[in-house]
Structure 1
Amino acid sequence: MILEDYLTTLFSQAFEKLSLEPKLAKVQMSARPELGQFQCNGAMPLAKQLKKSPIQIANDIINQVKDNLIFKDVTGVMPGFINITLNDNFLADWMNQMLANSRLGCPKTETPQKVMMDFGGPNVAKPLHIGHIRSPLIGDCLQRVYRFYGDEVLSDVHLGDWGTQMGMLIEEIRKMYPDLPYFDENFTGTYPIEPPVTVDELSEIYPRSSVRCKENENEMEKARLATAELQKGRRGYRALWQHFVNVSIAELKKDYADLDIYFDLWKGESDVQALIDDMVKNCLDNGVAKESQGAIIIPVAEDDKTPPLILVKSDGAVMYGTTDLATILERVQDYQAQKIIYVVDKRQSLHFKQVFTAAKKAGIAPNTELIHIGFGTLNGKDGKPFKTRSGGVMRLSTLIDEAKTRASLREQEGLSRNEKEDIINKVALATVKFADLSNVYTSDYIFDLDKFSQYEGKTGPYLLYSAVRIKSILRKLNYSVSGTLQYKISKATNDAERNLQLTLTQLPLALQRTYDKCEPHHLCEYAYQVAVQFNKFYSESPIATEENETTQKSRIALCQLTLKQLILVLELLGIEIPERM
């Protein structure tokens, strides 16, 4: 039920009757709405081939379709554009088909796949800050969209729990508490159940140890050795490391829950440790990997422009490229993943190029599609990576609190304290999520919480307010969006009503673009256009006071369809609509 596809099929048939190439018959939304609702530009590229003027070819095409009753007007415009305006009755019928359809006319994939979504990617012992927000927001939206389309999706947070930072933490805690049993290689008893540090202490210890290692090469070497011992299975280090992981996961789950984001799997780099030795051996045996200066590498480019992927360092420790490669192996073997999507900062593009190339070269993922969604950075008003007023990096929990302080209520009467808190939470999340997802994901953008919190313009609160307005209209007329649909949509009675109907036809296309390109901004732009067109319709088209019963019922049904669409789109963006605001 993508309207452009339906119209394209009609024009393709006309092209075939004229022995023209049907692939040129594509119909799209008009760039000049004052000339027509849709346009077909297929006559233009045919002029040279047919040695005829584009307008002649356009008129020949028009003669094939002009008598179709779905069109109000089909005209040719110099030099050869075809402008299309639909019949109002056809447009209303299309609305009613969407309203009656459980998926609002949105298609499902014809070939469902097993898809792994790798997003979040937090490091153990590091609290989430504002720089971590893009991956979970984009990833969560994509997992919702893929599930809606019928794919079997597994999302994995993929913890950073196995790198040098673990060795740094171990050495720092050794300095703080040297008598703990974790550091005694001869200890054979049971290690304490309670962790020696809290998550807040870990968040202080890690930066301190990181600075120490950067300033002192001897300290860094100790951290590297501790990491290697951990990866080799040293008992005390493993027990201490497990404390790091447990307290970190507990805190991370709270932070992600505050964003209404959940993962199917809470695995980390460490989970594939058992696969690495055999994987490296197979790569060596097959000639895919080779030794180089004491390390084991996989060359990934014949021209040497792309650095090799280091599997094992000269000291025997593995790199995170190694664990990423082993993770692909696990996902293909254990989960039969047909597509793996990584939502990770675009500054990691080279890394994923290396890993993906190595995976194909080694035969680890021969038939699995590997995709990197490389997003841009979130910056402050100065254009630099976002900082707090004191110059530090803002904690994610602090960001959400800041958004809540700006989430004002439009109506206060009759609301309990819990209801007010619920509304404020939903407005705050809508503010943050829409602000991020509305950008093309590859772009860097300025994070301006004051601007994003406004109830006017392209913001989350504006969308919520528009949806709540529709809920209020229906509630006052004793109708609901989820109840039985009693009325049908009639042909438009004014331009605002017609433009809203036309905009609502675009939902399946916006979703298809999001799904095909992994780009949430298409949904955001669509939701915003729906809200804008609805508010124009509302201001120009009386509903409660409309005297013509048929017109009133039609407008009620149009409100129901608009609200259904907004609920669906915002849900896919991870945004919930309150009953009141």
Structure 2
Amino acid sequence: MKKLVDLITDEIQQSFEMAGYDASYGIVGLSNRPDLCEYQCNGALAAAKTYKKAPFLIADDVAAKLAGSALLEKVEVVKPGFINIKINGRFLSDYLNQIQNDKDLSIEKVKEPKTIIIDYGGPNVAKPLHVGHLRSAIIGESLKRIGRYMGNKVIGDVHLGDWGLQMGLIIAELRERQPDLVYFDPEYTDEYPNEAPFTINELEQIYPAASAKSKDDDQFKEKAMEATHQLQQGNKGYMALWNHILTVSVTDLKRNYKKLDVEFDLWKKESDAQPYIPDMVKYLKDNGYAHLDQGALVVDVKEDTDTKEIPPCMILKSDGASLYNTTDLATIVERMKLFHPDEIVYVVDKRQELYFTQVFRCAKKTKLVDEDTKLTFQGFGTMNGKDGKPFKTREGGVMRLESLIRDIDEEMYKKIVDNRSVKADDARKTARIVGLSAIKYGDLSNVAAKDYVFDVDRFTSFEGNTGPYILYTIVRIKSILNRYEEEGKTIEKGTILPAAGESEKDLMLETSKFNGIVEQAYEERAPHKICSYIYELSNSFNHFYHETKILSEKDERQKQSWIALLDLVREILETSIDMLGFSAPDKM
């Protein structure tokens, strides 16, 4: 469905042409003075220079051609040449009825669907998820959902860190703690146990202990490096341990991501890219892309237009060892082979921009990706506490994601119990739903690239620009609709009448913006645009609700119209929060 502002623009452009002026001057936008008008065209001001004519005279000529328009209710010229516009109430209600009957709620799907891989999450195995993983998961999940809603094939990949020295550290530490395990017996030939010799809690203690030890104990670090080498050479016992580490870690990661309502299509790992490295390195050498620099194999990626130094992309260290660059490039090779994506989007900390510039340029220059394959860096800022520093526990440590979710759920539970609107049995479940909205909306309502302050008190409030406020609005609408149906009546689509008052028209205008906002959020990869929209839509609904006695209205046709409008608002709000990655309860 065409956007309402585009329909108005078409009408205004025709009038410019009819009046003898170029149609390109007839662009219409939302008014920045809603007290005066709903839409505005400033094209006459720009046209004045071309046509050497006073702008208000040009605007008068255009306005005269708009007389009798079925789309516009009022057109007013204001000096020096603004064209102020109000839309016709009947046209607006008809437009909303079309949205209501459109299975996509007026969204125009992309004409040429793309295959897009979104790389988000990026946790390391054997480590618990902490608040530093939150933004990648939340932003990536929302971008995936928005992309799918627009009609693309979007594949979410968690891309686990499961290779390299961290694995050697764990194996070396485990060997010191439990030297008698069969995995360390070179003479052992039977099947290895199915059950891991550690729990997730033990595993999460082993890694930091080993990491700390390696910094002070050179001998232990050597053992860890040797264990890493043995693992990468295929040592059977170490491979079995590695598989246990993966199984235990991934089970726990899936449990925690589920609490965030984040789902990955792929659980690919760094290790999956390893088989692609030898052929990739040979290809880079044979085709003259890579050369030796102080013993290391590198690809130059600097460009003449660079305003700052862009170092070469290192493929292999001087000792022949691979790096993150190597693995990431091999992962791109794997993705091109398996999925042939039109675009790969990396949702990562914005401080990694230089690194990804090197990797992307290397992949493009060496033709590891097709010429028209886009590689996109979606950098995000840090989540900070009220002190402006990265979010920590009260003791000053890095907060586990599980702990943050639990604390938010507990805060919401207290508020819901105090509200006494939900049965005690349902309060916990409702608290989890509303708590998730507080976390996700609190994050997504900010511009992704900017740092933001995670304020638990503000984010869990039922008032203001928060997730709980949005959900409270949806629940309020659901309650009205339920009571209407309890009267034995049916909600009928396509029965929205022209607005009976200003607050209703304001609500209808906000509702009509949905398609444009989603399109903009998709094109700019900006979930915060959807947050801003549903906040304004919620405000418009609540203003209308407080002014209007909906269910006690005597005119059944009017009541039916209001109910149909509310049902459309509910559907748009619920569709929007689904794109943001959370849902609404039935009661709060």
Task: Tell me the TM-score range normalised by the shorter chain.
Answer: over 0.9
Whole-angstrom distance in 2 between the partners of 1:514 and 1:531: 18
Matching residue's letter, 1:415: K
Alignment partner, residue 309 of structure 2: 305
1:379 is aligned, of 381, 384, 397, to: 384
Alignment partner, residue 237 of structure 2: 236
Q: Following TM superposition, by how much is the alpha carbon of 1:416 offset from its aligned partner in structure 2, in angstroms?
A: 5.7
2:547 is aligned with 1:540:
yes
Alignment partner, residue 169 of structure 2: 168
Whole-angstrom distance in 1 between the partners of 2:171 and 2:321: 16
1:439-518 alignment runs, 5 A limit: 439-478=446-485, 485=492, 488-518=495-525
Deviates more, 1:66-75 or 1:85-94: 66-75
2:351 is aligned, of 344, 347, 351, to: 347
CA distances 1:376-424 after superposition (whole Å, capped 9, x unpaired): 100001000000101111111111111111112276467361x222211
2:69 is aligned with 1:68:
yes
Matching residue's letter, 2:298: I
Deviates more, 1:404-413 or 1:378-387: 404-413
Whole-angstrom distance in 2 between the partners of 1:174 and 1:372: 40
Structure 2 length normalisation: TM-score?
0.94
Alignment partner, residue 415 of structure 1: 423
Whole-angstrom distance in 2 between the partners of 1:358 and 1:316: 19
CA distances 1:190-234 after superposition (whole Å, capped 9, x unpaired): 333222222111211222222233345555454444434433433
Matching residue's letter, 2:231: L
1:526-537 alignment runs, 5 A limit: 526-537=533-544
Matching residue's letter, 1:173: L
Tell me if structure 1 keeps the 8 A contact 2:97–2:494.
Answer: no
2:340 is aligned with 1:332:
no
1:169-184 alignment runs, 5 A limit: 169-184=170-185
Alignment partner, residue 318 of structure 2: 314
Tell me if structure 2 keeps the 8 A contact 1:228–1:317.
Answer: no
Deviates more, 1:78-87 or 1:490-499: 78-87
Q: Taking structure 1 as reference, are residues 249 and 60 closer, same or farther at Cα in structure 2, changes over 3 Å only? A: same
Q: Following TM superposition, by how much is the alpha carbon of 1:320 offset from its aligned partner in structure 2, in angstroms?
A: 1.4
2:369 is aligned with 1:365:
yes
Q: Following TM superposition, by how much is the alpha carbon of 1:321 offset from its aligned partner in structure 2, in angstroms?
A: 1.4
Query: Which structure 1 residue ranges, 5 or more long, are not aligned?
Result: none
1:567 is aligned, of 560, 569, 574, to: 574
Tell me if structure 2 keeps the 8 A contact 1:47–1:53.
Answer: yes
Whole-angstrom distance in 1 between the partners of 2:76 and 2:538: 30
Q: Taking structure 1 as reference, are residues 283 and 451 closer, same or farther at Cα in structure 2, changes over 3 Å only? A: same
1:397-436 alignment runs, 5 A limit: 397-407=402-412, 408-409=415-416, 412=420, 415=423, 417=425, 419-436=426-443
Whole-angstrom distance in 2 between the partners of 1:287 and 1:15: 59
Matching residue's letter, 1:266: W
Structure 1 length normalisation: TM-score?
0.95
Whole-angstrom distance in 2 between the partners of 1:396 and 1:479: 42
Tell me if structure 2 keeps the 8 A contact 1:130–1:393.
Answer: yes
Tell me if structure 1 keeps the 8 A contact 2:170–2:206.
Answer: yes
Tell me if structure 2 keeps the 8 A contact 1:105–1:508.
Answer: yes
Q: Secondary structure at the match of 1:43?
A: helix
Alignment partner, residue 560 of structure 2: 553
Q: Following TM superposition, by how much is the alpha carbon of 1:487 offset from its aligned partner in structure 2, in angstroms?
A: 6.2
Whole-angstrom distance in 2 between the partners of 1:224 and 1:411: 57
CA distances 1:334-354 after superposition (whole Å, capped 9, x unpaired): 112111111111111111111
Alignment partner, residue 6 of structure 1: 7
Alignment partner, residue 390 of structure 1: 395
Tell me if structure 2 keeps the 8 A contact 1:174–1:183.
Answer: yes
Q: Taking structure 1 as reference, are residues 205 and 488 closer, same or farther at Cα in structure 2, changes over 3 Å only? A: same
Whole-angstrom distance in 2 between the partners of 1:216 and 1:315: 22
CA distances 1:491-536 after superposition (whole Å, capped 9, x unpaired): 1111111100010011001100111111100111111111100000
Q: Following TM superposition, by how much is the alpha carbon of 1:123 offset from its aligned partner in structure 2, in angstroms?
A: 0.6
Tell me if structure 2 keeps the 8 A contact 1:426–1:577.
Answer: yes
CA distances 1:275-334 after superposition (whole Å, capped 9, x unpaired): 110011101111111122222111111468111111112222211111111111111111
Whole-angstrom distance in 1 between the partners of 2:422 and 2:475: 16
Matching residue's letter, 1:463: I
Whole-angstrom distance in 2 between the partners of 1:99 and 1:421: 34
Whole-angstrom distance in 2 between the partners of 1:214 and 1:77: 72
Whole-angstrom distance in 2 between the partners of 1:158 and 1:525: 31
Matching residue's letter, 1:27: V
Q: Taking structure 1 as reference, are residues 31 and 185 closer, same or farther at Cα in structure 2, changes over 3 Å only? A: farther
Tell me if structure 2 keeps the 8 A contact 1:143–1:155.
Answer: yes
Q: Taking structure 1 as reference, are residues 231 and 311 closer, same or farther at Cα in structure 2, changes over 3 Å only? A: farther
Q: Taking structure 1 as reference, are residues 557 and 356 closer, same or farther at Cα in structure 2, changes over 3 Å only? A: same
Whole-angstrom distance in 2 between the partners of 1:136 and 1:445: 16
Whole-angstrom distance in 2 between the partners of 1:479 and 1:149: 36
Deviates more, 1:454-463 or 1:25-34: 25-34
Tell me if structure 2 keeps the 8 A contact 1:376–1:442.
Answer: yes
Tell me if structure 1 keeps the 8 A contact 2:444–2:527.
Answer: yes
Matching residue's letter, 1:494: G
Whole-angstrom distance in 2 between the partners of 1:213 and 1:444: 33
Q: Secondary structure at the match of 1:83?
A: strand
Whole-angstrom distance in 1 between the partners of 2:262 and 2:350: 22
Deviates more, 1:5-14 or 1:499-508: 5-14
Alignment partner, residue 273 of structure 2: 272
Q: Taking structure 1 as reference, are residues 316 and 534 closer, same or farther at Cα in structure 2, changes over 3 Å only? A: same
Q: Taking structure 1 as reference, are residues 20 and 244 closer, same or farther at Cα in structure 2, changes over 3 Å only? A: farther
Q: Secondary structure at the match of 1:478?
A: helix
Q: Secondary structure at the match of 2:505?
A: helix
Query: Which structure 2 residue ranges, 5 or more long, are not aligned?
Result: none
Alignment partner, residue 196 of structure 1: 197
Q: Taking structure 1 as reference, are residues 93 and 190 closer, same or farther at Cα in structure 2, changes over 3 Å only? A: same
Aligned residues: 579
Matching residue's letter, 1:37: E
Whole-angstrom distance in 1 between the partners of 2:436 and 2:299: 43
Q: Following TM superposition, by how much is the alpha carbon of 1:19 offset from its aligned partner in structure 2, in angstroms?
A: 5.8
Q: Taking structure 1 as reference, are residues 277 and 388 closer, same or farther at Cα in structure 2, changes over 3 Å only? A: same
1:105-254 alignment runs, 5 A limit: 105-184=106-185, 187-216=188-217, 219-254=220-255
CA distances 1:417-472 after superposition (whole Å, capped 9, x unpaired): 1x222211111111111101111101100001111111100111111111101111
Q: Following TM superposition, by how much is the alpha carbon of 1:183 offset from its aligned partner in structure 2, in angstroms?
A: 3.9
Tell me if structure 2 keeps the 8 A contact 1:228–1:316.
Answer: no
RMSD, matched Cα: 2.1
Tell me if structure 1 keeps the 8 A contact 2:441–2:466.
Answer: yes
Tell me if structure 1 keeps the 8 A contact 2:100–2:493.
Answer: no
